[in-house]
């Protein structure tokens, strides 16, 4: 493998029990035997496009230029109203359904372009109604890895026609910040949308209207099973508990309010 | 890696928590450093040989010729009565216990041959009683990938001695088809054994004796949380629900009856 | 890929839902595009350093010389009191926090050396307080794979300063052995610390003070859903049940007493 062979990452809600991800890899490797495949997540909650959007946004930043990202959480697969697209800023390539899965990427100011997937020559010959990842998106990723250019797959479409989900943004109120939980990870850490630059040591953090912790630096800033608030590895205020599941204990869920203020 | 290095897929019920799959990969890569490894599934329900048979049958079709498939769900590992085999049609190679795991493959009319694994020179030196995947099947796959021929591993055995589980087949009754659920995937979609060519738009589909949905084209043929029936990506009638778990809602399980008939 | 490109294994409690493991792989492949990555486990119970120690010890033995093992279960990540280390015997390389995760490795008599990770030139430029695997341990593994020597990462530290967790050891009492459960796998098999050489066919095995099974050779030594005791693939006495979850049925957990004695 020359080091320049692109990486293809895979993010889906397919789970790991049925072989669906392996099948997609078989299709990709049949077309692009040298592709290097990296799983980002396949255990997104079924049909949770919003969670996929966060995982792809958070994850893609750590892959080298030229990486191709297969991104599929697609409850409406096979609906006639829905198209597949390539989204690219010229450096990273995202392939998947145009159903809002790229929402958080599109929040970033870049030179985004979007191509509608219409060239069936670059799909599997028979396209099922329910497994476009195997029959369309996987082959498109493989052909991209093999050096096809985005224009080979179809025509560019206006960026303002690309689907975006509503985005919860934190806002400043005087000295304080009002935000919300946007993601909860497997440890029960609650990730907010309050950006790192707003977070000051010792400030008070509330979740769902009640004080939960002062701002520290890491999980272990608090005693065992107690809460801590800090800037997470993604660059936003996060609330966790030391060796315990903060979201479960506190009853936190995506959308819950978060407030950060001076003491 | 030359592009002709075979792929080795892995399908087991080993799960992902204990490191068993990683150990098998370590053994394979120690013998065949260039092998390309692809997980098909490791989250098959423990000891469910039938589910493994479906996953391997459904998945293997999407890998290039020459692919080697490690297939192990093996509750009776280490029993003296049980042998390991290579099953091959000259294009794909399947390695695992002769306990019925290859049942659905064998339903396909191909020039199958089966070789009993007896050449201990191609196993690990010490063979445990309980981890033949590490000590026998993994090494056999690695040596196959390295170019050994099937005759190197042992003698051919008659195909009628290879274990087959009972197979539920759909049957036609006048215009109608009577079949059953043969697999349920992680989304709760119920896969039947009624073949695609029997499925007509608008026909009535019943599961467990009660009408569930008319035949459409995909999950989103129905409103949210309602049922739809259609030809699945595997080529058989499937019953799902739009953004909901059809098997849970309907109480469907493997073996449940499915009926398809004109309206 | 020349066959001598090192393998990097990954063992964490990061789970598979959030993309954390994929991010670490992106970082590693950005620095070492030819690295071969193998997951050992990412589904260790959150914060369970002891289970990680067993999985790494059990798994590392099956990888070729030169393999690099990324080992991270790290509840106290980012605490000022905790250091990262490379542990090596000159053949295998282990990278992770010095929090006891290497305990069972250190029980083996080898020429261990330990290097404290202090050379920030070989880390990511910005180091978060909560994701050292992405920012420190992953890059260290990549640079090791690229040929850096251990001395490049920092100074050697005395082996008696490396953290060890308490280790439960089995002891002989006359003819009998008294030990305990040290690991339970996904099938519910209970792994003890009584070594293979102590295990004799037909001896009586008790768990939690009550007789559970005589010593046989494999799971299927017993009828369905009944218990069996035998030498497991790891080289220690193990108690399982044929096609059933022994630990659940018997109420076994890590630390429970195990006794082995002649009949």
- Walk across the sheet containing A36-41 and list its strands: A36-41, A7-12, A68-72, A93-97, A84-88, A113-116, A156-157
Question: Looking at A33-37, B75-79, B239-243, C64-68, which range is the least confident one?
Answer: B75-79
What token pair was written down for B135?
């000590």
CB-based contact (8 Å) between B33 and chain C? Answer: yes
pLDDT above 90: percentage of residues in chain B = 92
Q: How confident is the model at residue B4 (pLDDT cuts 50, 70, 90)?
A: low
- The candidate with the shortest Cα–Cα distance to A136, out of A181, A97, A94, is A97
Mutate to test the interface with B, among C2, C145, C220 (most CBs of B within 10 A): C220
Query: What is the spatial distance between Cα B257 and Cα B211, in angstroms, rounded to a whole number?
Result: 11
**How far does the CA of residue A13 sit from the closest CA of chain B (Å)?**
9
- Of the partner residues A15, A26, A47, the one whose CB lies closest to the CB of residue B62: A26
Q: CA–CA distance from A158 to each of A53, A103, A114, A152, B232 (Å)?
A: 20, 15, 7, 17, 33
- The distance of B135 to chain C (nearest Cα, Å) reads 9
Q: What is the pLDDT of residues C16-54, one digit of tens each?
A: 999 999 999 999 999 999 999 999 999 999 999 999 999
Region B155-171 average pLDDT: 97
Residue keyed to tokens 């039947």: B192
Average pLDDT over residues C122-141: 96
Q: What is the pLDDT of residue C2?
A: 45
Task: Count the residues in chain C.
Answer: 263
Give this prediction's pTM.
0.96
For A212, B207, C66, C103, C137, the CA distances from C98, given in Å and listed in that order, are 30, 56, 21, 10, 12
Place of tokens 């196993």: B123
Are A242 and C46 in contact by the 8 Å Cβ rule? The answer is no
User: Where does the pLDDT of residue A221 fall: very low under 50, low under 70, confident under 90, or very high at 90 and above?
Assistant: confident
CA dist., res. A178 & res. A202, Å (int): 17
Residue A1 has pLDDT above 50, yes or no: no
State whether B233 and A130 contact (CB < 8 Å): yes
Pairing of strands A7-12, A68-72: parallel
Ordered DSSP codes for A70-139: EEE--TTTT-TT--EEEEE-SS-EEEEESSSTTHHHHTS-S--EEEE---GGGS-SS--SS-HIIIIIHH
Give A-chain residues touching C139 at CB under 8 angstroms: none
Contact flag B41-A76 (C-beta cutoff 8 Å):
no
CA A32 to CA A3: how far, in whole Å? 15
Lowest mean pLDDT among B8-22, B72-86, C126-140: B72-86
Question: Is pLDDT at B53 greater than 50 in this prediction?
Answer: yes
CA distance C127 to C133: 10
Determine how β-strand C36-41 pairs with β-strand C7-12. Answer: parallel
Q: Return the DSSP state at B159.
A: G
Q: Show residues of chain B in contact with A130, CB under 8 Å.
A: 218-219, 230, 232-233, 238
Helix, strand or coil, per DSSP, at residue B239 = strand
Best mutation target, C26, C34, C37, C39, to test chain A (most A CBs within 10 A): C26
Chain B contact set for C217 (CB, 8 A) = 78, 129
Element housing A199 (H / E): none
Is residue A82 very low, low, confident or very high in pLDDT (cuts 50, 70, 90)?
A: confident
Q: Which chains touch C (3 or more CB pairs under 8 A)?
A: A, B
Burial of A238 by CB count in 10 Å (0-12 exposed, 13-18 middle, 19+ buried)? Answer: buried
Annotate A215-262 with three-state secondary structure: ECCCHHHCCECCEEEEECCCCEEEEEEECECHHHHHCCCCCCEEEEEC
Per the CB < 8 Å rule, is A39 touching C21? Answer: yes
State the ipTM, two decimals: 0.96
How much is the pLDDT for C117?
Answer: 98
3-class DSSP assignment, residue B232: coil
Interface residue C187 vs chain B (CB under 8 A): yes
pLDDT beyond 90 at B66:
yes
| Residue environment code for A59-87, b if the CB has 16+ CB neighbours within 10 A, otherwise e | bbebbbeebbbbbbbbbbbbbeebbbbbb
A193 close to A169: Cβ distance less than 8 angstroms: yes
Q: Where are the beta strands (DSSP E) in chain C?
A: 7-12, 36-41, 68-72, 84-88, 93-97, 113-116, 156-157, 171-173, 176-184, 190-195, 204-207, 210-214, 227-231, 236-241, 257-261
Element (H, E) at B103: helix B103-106
Q: What pLDDT is recorded for position A5?
A: 83
φ, ψ for residue A237, nearest 5 deg: -60, 130
Whether pLDDT at A257 is above 70: yes
In chain A, what residues touch C135 (CB-CB under 8 Å)?
A: 233
Q: Chain C: give the shortest CA distance to residue A126, in Å.
A: 31
Tokens 């497997």, located at residue? A186
Of A139, A120, A137, A133, nearest in space to A30 by CA = A139
Q: How much is the pLDDT for B10?
A: 98
Average pLDDT, stretch B155-168? 97
**Which positions 64-103 of A are in contact with B (Cβ < 8 Å)?**
75-79
B2 has a pLDDT exceeding 50 = no
Instruction: Tell me, yes or no, if B29 comes closer than 8 A to chain C by beta carbon.
Output: yes
Say if residue A26's pLDDT is above 60.
Answer: yes
pLDDT of residue A142: 98
Contact (CB<8Å) A218/C129: yes
Adjacent-strand bridge partners of A181: A192
Sign of the dihedral defined by the CA atoms of residues B77, A20, B255, B160, in that order = negative
C228 touches chain B (CB under 8 A): no
Provide the shortest C-alpha distance from residue B47 to chain C (in Å).
Answer: 6
């Amino acid at each position: 493998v020359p080091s320049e062979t692109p990486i293809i990452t895979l993010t889906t809600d397919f789970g790991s029990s049925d072989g669906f991800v392996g099948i997609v890899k078989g299709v990709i490797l049949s077309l692009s035997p040298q592709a290097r495949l990296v799983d980002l997540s396949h255990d997104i909650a079924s049909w949770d496009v919003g969670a996929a959007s966060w995982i792809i946004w958070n994850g893609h930043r750590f892959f080298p230029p030229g990486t191709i990202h297969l991104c599929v959480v697609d409850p409406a697969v096979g609906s006639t109203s829905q198209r597949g697209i390539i989204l690219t800023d010229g450096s990273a390539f995202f392939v998947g359904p145009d159903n809002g899965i790229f929402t958080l990427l599109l929040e970033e100011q870049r030179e985004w372009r979007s191509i509608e997937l219409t060239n069936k020559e670059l799909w599997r010959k028979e396209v099922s109604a329910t497994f476009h990842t195997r029959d369309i998106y996987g082959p498109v990723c493989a052909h991209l890895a093999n050096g096809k250019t985005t224009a080979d797959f179809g025509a560019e479409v206006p960026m303002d026609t690309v689907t975006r989900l509503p985005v919860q943004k934190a806002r400043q109120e005087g000295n304080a910040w009002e935000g919300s939980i946007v993601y909860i990870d497997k440890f029960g850490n609650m990730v907010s949308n309050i950006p790192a630059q707003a977070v000051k040591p010792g400030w008070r953090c509330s979740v769902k209207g009640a004080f939960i912790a002062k701002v520290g630096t890491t999980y272990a800033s608090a005693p065992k099973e107690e809460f801590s608030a800090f800037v997470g590895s993604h660059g936003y205020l996060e609330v966790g508990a030391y060796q315990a599941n903060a979201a479960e204990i506190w009853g936190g869920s995506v959308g819950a309010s978060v407030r950060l203020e001076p003491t």
